[in-house]
Amino acid sequence: MKKNKELTFIDFFAGVGGFRLGFEQAGLRCIGFCENDKFALKSYKAMFDTKGEWHKDDINTIKSEEIPYADIWCGGTPCQDVSIAGMRKGLSGDRSGLFFKFIELLKGKGEKDKPTFIILENVKGLLSSNRGFDFTEYLYQISQAGYDAIWQVLNSKDFGVPQNRERVFLIGHLRSRGRREILPIQGENSATLKKVIGGCQGERVYDPKGISCTLTGCGGGGGGKTGLYYVGNVNPSGRGMNGNVYSSKGLAPTVTTNKGEGSKILIDQSHKKPKLTNIARCITSRYTAGIVNRSASNSAVLEARAVLTPERINKRQNGRRMKETGEPMFTLTSGDRHGVAIKEATTKGFAEAHVGDSINLSFPNSKTRRGRVGKEIAQTLDTSCEQGTLTENLRIRRLTPRECFRLQGFPDSLFDKARKVNSDAQLYKQAGNAVTVNVAYEIAETIKNSAYK
C-alpha cells in the first residue's frame, strides 16, 4: 500500500456510527454505509455528513457488484442470536445469520475488488455459541471468502471509557495481499502475556499482571478452570532482598517476585475460602463458585436498602444497621461510612454500593441475579440501558441517554444531533447496540500504521 494513501471504509451494520466515528478520528474516510433500523439511521444521518456516499438500508437487497471499492469493510454484526443474554439460536438465527449475507457479498467480488481488511465486532458469547461450533463456522466462512482471520477480546474499560464491555473484534486480511501484524492491541490496563511456570496446557501459570491466555472448552489438568494464580514466593531464609522479615511459614510480607528467592506461591481462588497451594484442586462444573467477576451475566435481585457502615457486619451500635426498603436514610455523621446495600442472590445476600458506583436496575423481581453493583464503573450497556448510579444524597437514579452515549465514546455534540431526531427509548437502544468509539479508533490506528509499512 502506498505511503500516506488515504484508507477508505464501508460501514456495514452501521448502527449510530461507532466504527465510523472511531475510524474518522484516525484519519480514515467513509465512502458508504448500510443500516436497516430506521431510527438508528435517523441518528446516523443527523450525526454525520453522508452526502454523496453509497448507502443501502437492507443488506439482503445488496448485490456485490453494486458496492464500490473500499480498503476496509467493517461492521458490528447482529449479536442477538449468539449472546448469552438471548435465546442462543446461534448463527442460524435470523439476526446473527446476516453474517452469511456479508460473506456472500465478499465472495461475489473479484480478487482485485475485495477490501484488504474486514473488521467484525460481536459479543464474547460468539466464542461459546453452540459449544464453539458457531465460531468455527464463522472462521471457516471467512477463510472461504479468501481471508485469514485473527481476533481478540477487547474491553472498553481499557480504552478510556468507564464501561466494562467485552467484545470480540475479528480482523480478516485478504490472503492474496499478505498479512500484517495488527493484533494484539493493548489498552491502558493491559500488559503482555507473561508465563511464570511452564508445562503442558492446564499446568502453565501466568502472571496476573498480564493478559490471560486463551481459554478453551476442553482445558483441564493442573490449573485449568480452577482460579489458580501466581501471587509471590516462599523465601526459606526468612528474610527478603531488602531485609524484610518473612512469616514463620516463609511467606513474604508482601506479594513479591524476587528472582532467586525461594519457590513460587500460588493462590487457589476456586472455592469460597481461597488458600495458598502449589497444586490445583478438583475442577468442578460450578464455574461461578468462589471468587468471580461481577458482570452483567452474574446478576441478582435488586432491592436497595440504606445501610450503616456496610463493611462492618457486627458493628456495635444502638438500633439497626440496615433500613427496610423505602425507609429514610440514617442521619449522616462524620464518623460513619454510608451507602446502600443492593440485595443479591449471593451468600452474603447483598452488595455494597457507594457514591459513583453503578447499579443494574433490570429484572428487579428476579431471585437469581447477581453482580448488581459496578465499582466506579458501568456494567455492559444493553439495548435497554437499565443502569443507575448512586448520587451524593444516596438516591439511585437511572443513567441518562447522554451518559450512555458518553460511555460509548460519543461526544455531546453528536449526541445532541441524535437527540433532535429520536426519543429517549431509541437513544438508549442505540447506545446499547453501538461499537465503542475508543476501541474502533485504536484498531483503525493500528491498521493505518501497519498498512503504510
How many angstroms separate the CA atoms of 142 and 130, rounded?
A: 18
Cell 453482580 belongs to 371
Peptide bond into 162 cis (omega under 30): no
Asked whether 197 and 205 are in contact (CB, 8 A), the reply is yes
And the C-alpha cell for 187?
489498552
CB atoms within 10 A of CB 345: 15
**Closest alpha carbon to 332 in 352, 304, 306, 314:** 306
DSSP H helical segments within 61-132, as ranges? 98-107
**Three-class DSSP labels, 124-137:** HHHHCHHHHHHHHH
* Distance between first and last Cα of the chain: 8
- DSSP-assigned letters across all residues of 256-302: ---TTSSEEEEEE-SSSS-EEESS-----S-TTSSS----TTS----
Report the side by side order of strands in the sheet with 275-277: 228-234, 263-268, 275-277
How many angstroms separate the CA atoms of 3 and 452, rounded?
A: 5
Residues 6+ apart with CB under 8 A from 376: 162, 356, 357
Q: Does residue 76 sit in helix, strand or coil?
A: strand
Give me the catalytic one of 79, 282, 385, 404. 79
And the C-alpha cell for 297?
451475566
Query: What is the CA 241 to chain-centroid distance, rounded?
Result: 39
Q: Which residues pair with 397 in a beta bridge?
A: 389
Asked whether 4 and 420 are in contact (CB, 8 A), the reply is no
Q: Verify whether residue 404 is a known catalytic residue.
A: no
How many angstroms separate the CA atoms of 51 and 49, rounded?
A: 6
Asked whether 344 and 372 are in contact (CB, 8 A), the reply is yes
And the C-alpha cell for 280?
490445583
Residues annotated as catalytic are 79
